[in-house]
Amino acid sequence: MHSARAVLARIATAALSGLTATSVTVEVDLARGLPAFHLVGLPDGAVRESRERITAALANSGFELPLRRITVNLAPADEPKSGTGFDLPIALAILWAAGIVEPATPGDLAAIGELGLDGRVRPTRGALPIADALARTGMAELLAPPECAAEASLAGRLAVFAVATLRDAVDHLSGLRRLPRVSTNGWRPRPGSHGDWGEVRGQPAVRRALEVAAAGGHNVLLVGPPGSGKTFLARRFPSVLPPLTRGQALEVTAIHSAWGRIAPGRPLICEPPFRAPHHTISTSALLGGGSPLKPGEISLANHGVLFLDELPEFRRDALEGLRQPIEDGEVTIGRTRERARFPSRFQLLAAMNPCPCGWWGEPQRACRCRPGERKRYRARISGPLLDRIDLHVRVRPVRFADLASRAEAESSSEVRSRVARARHHQRKRSHEAPSNARMSAEEAAEFCRLDTGCRGLLARAFDRLGLSARGHQRVLRVARTIADLAGRETIELSDLAEAIQYREPAHDIESER
């Protein structure tokens, strides 16, 4: 069946590095000589181990490994390859080279998937960015694991088929049993599980501040004693945020796909993500890193909320690492042989106690901390990081009358409608910034103009609060958001006064004296 010379087969797949997928051609050469299996093209350990998985999967699927000198090349050979998604394309290329299967349109075929020893096709991370990269190279058909097929089909422009086993893939390509194309029709966003704003009792000032934050995408720091409701409020905050746009949803889904955590039956993430890592998290887990490079919590919270409870308890280097992503909306992680850029346009929502015991400045209970302890506790959060937080909000304990009241509070849907209207005004005003918090200095100068009275108030606040240039800009953006919530085109004195109030250092122990 074979000539004296080698038999060559090629199948496309892709390699994932960070969020970027690069097209890879799997080349299989069957040559005469002693039986051997060579894998080249800068494979990592997981890729090299595919030889054992593929050999067992072929045997347990009813196929024999050709008794030839098998050379598998992953081209381009100078780019590192990592992960287990190369198993299926390598196995299919071997069977193709051996004459067992011959695709009808071999030049348009791509495949991804890990093989179990029994021949089952297991999921692999990064299906969406991989499918998007393959579609851009002109591939027309992609074979993918069932768990990843719906996600991969979101890329569009190529037909995706779910193959549960290696035998299913062979039967499909041979025309013995063609599989149905995976369709995105009929998928509906699943409602979020963040509770409802109506469950919050009392706290009108904090609710107002969080509504302003939601409307403008502003960062918030909640400072209050234990049990005052900081975490309760934060976990219901996503319920007042508008759903993601189609473009945002695809970007968020791609990030979670590269991380390897797409929920079954929910291929497209339509709600703003809410991430709440524990304060013992490592710096690389928060910012991104590892080997291979994976997005961190700040990227998993892209277009959503990153909630840092007990803010001073986080590692100092991890908190300082937030400064550049907050400003730039992305983080770049570099390693010796790999470099990745991850989006990080998150909204920071942080909570902390006013002191180690938690009761500084509260009339109900006396603080047990020494002045030095309070200062050291406050110093765990640097000034530059605090300067990047737009709203500093003091949270007071809830009164018994509020807890016992049966009066109905505003629901999430009511607040969300106002937030959506404000966001709509912002998108109409600026085609580049999705929210006021992301306005550039040039846009702030154009859209946040102040009259004489407002300029005088801001000048006095600038000196009294010791605002930096960044703090000045953030006050203007918050005032713009407050005016948007009220449906005003110009910033009034009351809007600016409220914005300045949120700039008061709620965490500052000196301000309580």
SS3 call for 304 = coil
In 49-195, which ranges are continuous DSSP H helix?
50-60, 87-97, 127-136, 146-153, 166-174
Q: Are residues 170 and 202 in the same domain?
A: no
16 is a domain residue: yes
Range with top average pLDDT, 197-211, 249-263, 310-324, 423-437: 310-324
What's the confidence (pLDDT) of residue 263?
A: 75
220 is a domain residue: yes
445 is a domain residue: yes
Dump pLDDT digits (tens) for 445-493: 899 999 999 999 999 999 998 889 999 999 999 999 999 999 999 999 9
Dump pLDDT digits (tens) for 170-185: 999 988 899 999 987 5
Q: Whole-number mean pLDDT of the chain?
A: 90
CATH code where residue 152 lies: 3.30.230.10
SS3 call for 439 = coil
In 292-370, which ranges are continuous DSSP H helix?
297-300, 316-320, 323-328
CATH code where residue 309 lies: 3.40.50.300
What's the confidence (pLDDT) of residue 291?
A: 79
What's the confidence (pLDDT) of residue 193?
A: 64
186 is a domain residue: no
Dump pLDDT digits (tens) for 372-410: 999 999 999 999 999 999 999 999 988 877 777 777 788
Cis? peptide before 397, omega within 30° of 0: no
What's the confidence (pLDDT) of residue 3?
A: 45
Dump pLDDT digits (tens) for 128-181: 999 999 999 999 999 999 999 999 999 988 999 999 999 999 999 988 899 999
Its pTM stands at 0.89
Number of domains the chain is built from? 2
Task: Please choose, from the candidates 313, 341, 141, 121, the residue with its C-alpha nearest in 3D space to the C-alpha of residue 251.
Answer: 341
Work out the number of other CB atoms within 10 angstroms of the CB of residue 135: 18
405 is a domain residue: yes
What's the confidence (pLDDT) of residue 190?
A: 55
Q: Are residues 24 and 123 in the same domain?
A: yes
Range with top average pLDDT, 195-204, 259-268, 380-389, 498-507: 380-389
In 42-126, which ranges are continuous DSSP H helix?
45-48, 50-60, 87-97
457 is a domain residue: yes
d(CA 353, CA 312): 9
Write the DSSP assignment of 442-502 as a string of letters. HHHHHH----HHHHHHHHHHHHHHT--HHHHHHHHHHHHHHHHHTT-SS--HHHHHHHHHT
Instruction: Indicate the angle between helix axes 412-429 and 469-485, nearest 10 degrees.
Output: 120
Q: Report percent pLDDT > 70 for the chain.
A: 94
> Which residue range is the domain that position 230 belongs to?
197-512
Q: Are residues 449 and 482 in the same domain?
A: yes
End-to-end CA distance of the chain: 91
- Can you read off the two tokens belonging to residue 293? 């490079």
The answer, yes or no, to whether residue 99 has pLDDT greater than 60, is yes
